[in-house]
C-alpha cells in the first residue's frame, strides 16, 4: 500500500501518541519505534546506557541527543525497518530532527509524514497520572478515560498494569517544560521539512484514530 513510509508522531507527553502508534504500526505492518520504550528497556536491563539515562529520565529531562540518535540509527539498520516505521517520542530536539533528516536521506526515504497532536495542557496531567501500562504486552490504559475491565489487569492477557515512575506530578511538570522548551519548535520545523498534519489530540482515542485513517487509510472493509 505505502512505499517506505516514515511517520513521526509529535506532541507532548500524554497526548496519545503511544496508543495510536501501536495501532497503526500493526495496521501498516511497520514497526513502532518508541525511544522512551527503548530507553526503559535499557534501564530495566541495567546496561551502561540505561544507567546513564535513568537519572535523566527520573527528573523529567531529555536524554542527550547523541545517545538517542545512536540508538535510533542502530534500530533503523534492522531489516524490519526497511519498509518504514512510526516514531513515537522521537525526534524531540532540533539536533535530533536534523540527524534524522540525514539518516532518512541516506536510507532513501522521502519527507516524513508528521502527525502533530494538538492538545490542551490542562488535560495532560490527568491523562499522565491516570496512565497504566500492561507489563506483558504494553497496552496502554487510563484509570478514568480507558479503564480495564478488571482493576489492575490487562483486558488482553491479564498482565499487571503498572504506572510509569515518571508519571508522577512533580516529574510531569518537568517533562511538559522540556516539551515546551525543546520539542515544540519541531512543529514549525516540520511545516517545512515534513508533511505536517494537525490532529485534535483532545478527542477520544476512536476519533483520533479516524482522523489518522484519513492520512494512512482505514482497514479494509471500513473505508
Q: How many residues at the interface with ligand AMP, by CB under 6 A?
A: 18
Q: Are 10 and 59 in contact (CB under 8 A)?
A: no
Q: Helix (H, G, I), strand (E, B), or coil: what is residue 182?
A: helix
Q: Quote the least distance from Cβ 133 to ligand AMP, whole Å.
A: 10
Q: Quote the least distance from Cβ 120 to ligand AMP, whole Å.
A: 18
User: Which among 164, 168, 184, 195 is annotated as catalytic?
Assistant: 164
Instruction: Look up 126 and say whether it is catalytic.
Output: no
Instruction: Look up 164 and say whether it is catalytic.
Output: yes
| Sole window of 88-96, 137-145, 147-155, 191-199 interacting with ligand AMP (rule: CB under 6 A) | 88-96
40: left (phi over 0), alpha (psi -120 to 50) or beta: alpha
Q: Is 117 in the site for ligand AMP (CB under 6 A)?
A: no
C-alpha cell at 151: 482493576
Q: Quote the least distance from Cβ 149 to ligand AMP, whole Å.
A: 25
What string of DSSP letters covers 96-142?
A: HHHHHHHHHHHHT--SPEEEEEE--HHHHHHHHHTEEEETTT--EEE
CA distances from 114 to 71, 78, 92, 129 (A): 21, 22, 13, 26
Q: Quote the least distance from Cβ 70 to ligand AMP, whole Å.
A: 11
Instruction: Name the residue with cell 540509527.
Output: 73
Q: Is 90 in the site for ligand AMP (CB under 6 A)?
A: yes
Q: Is 10 in the site for ligand AMP (CB under 6 A)?
A: no
* CA gap 87, 112 in Å, rounded: 10
Pick out residues in 167-196 that bind ligand AMP (CB under 6 A).
175
* CA gap 38, 40 in Å, rounded: 6
Quick one: which of 21, 33, 49, 68 contacts ligand AMP (CB under 6 A)? 68
Which residues of this protein are in contact with ligand AMP, per CB under 6 A?
Answer: 13, 35-36, 39, 56-57, 60-63, 68, 89-92, 96, 166, 175
The residues annotated as belonging to the active site are 17, 92, 131, 164, 175
Amino acid at each position: 500500500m505505502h512505499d517506505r513510509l516514515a511517520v513521526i508522531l509529535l506532541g507532548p507527553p500524554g497526548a496519545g501518541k503511544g496508543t495510536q502508534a501501536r495501532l497503526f504500526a500493526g495496521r501498516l505492518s511497520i514497526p513502532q519505534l518508541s525511544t522512551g520504550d527503548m530507553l526503559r528497556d535499557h534501564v530495566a536491563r541495567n546496561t551502561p546506557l540505561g544507567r546513564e539515562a535513568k537519572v535523566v529520565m527520573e527528573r523529567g529531562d531529555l536524554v542527550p541527543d547523541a545517545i538517542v540518535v545512536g540508538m535510533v540509527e542502530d534500530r533503523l539498520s534492522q531489516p524490519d525497518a526497511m519498509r518504514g516505521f512510526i516514531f513515537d517520542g522521537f525526534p524531540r530536539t532540533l539536533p535530533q530532527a536534523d540527524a534524522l533528516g540525514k539518516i532518512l536521506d541516506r536510507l532513501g526515504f522521502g519527507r516524513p509524514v508528521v502527525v502533530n497532536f494538538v492538545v490542551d495542557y490542562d488535560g495532560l496531567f490527568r491523562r499522565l497520572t491516570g496512565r497504566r501500562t500492561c507489563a506483558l504486552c504494553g497496552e496502554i490504559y487510563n484509570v478514568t478515560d480507558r479503564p480495564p475491565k478488571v482493576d489492575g489487569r490487562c483486558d488482553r492477557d491479564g498482565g499487571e498494569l503498572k504506572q510509569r515512575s515518571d508519571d508522577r506530578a512533580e516529574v510531569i511538570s518537568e517533562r511538559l517544560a522540556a516539551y515546551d522548551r525543546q520539542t515544540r519548535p519541531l512543529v514549525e520545523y516540520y511545516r517545512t521539512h515534513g508533511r505536517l498534519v494537525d490532529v485534535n489530540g483532545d478527542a477520544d482515542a476512536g476519533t483520533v484514530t479516524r482522523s489518522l485513517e484519513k492520512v494512512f487509510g482505514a482497514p479494509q472493509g471500513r473505508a
